[in-house]
Amino acid sequence: MDAASAELLEALAIMFTVIPFGLVVVIVQIIRTQRSISDALMSGILTAFWAWGLIKVKRLNFWLQRAGRFDQMFSLMQIHLFEMASYLMLLLILSEDGLQGMLRMVIKCFRGLARPLVRLYLVGLAITGYGMGVLFAGPPDTTTLFHGDFGVHFITTGLIVIIFGVSSHPDDLPGRMAAVSLIAYICLLFVATYIGGSWQ
- pLDDT band (50, 70, 90) for residue 146: very low
Angle at 95 between CA 93 and CA 101, to 5 degrees: 125
Task: Decide which of 182 and 107 is more confident.
Answer: 182
Q: What are the residue boundaries of the structural domains of the chain, listed by start?
A: 3-196
- pLDDT band (50, 70, 90) for residue 127: very high
In b/e form, how buried is each residue of 47-68, taking b as 16+ CB within 10 angstroms?
Answer: bbebbbebbbebbebbbbbbee
Confidence (pLDDT) at 112? 65
Helix/strand/coil percent split, the chain, to 5: 85, 0, 15
pLDDT digits (tens, 9 = 90+) for 162-198: 888 888 877 877 778 888 889 999 999 888 887 876 5
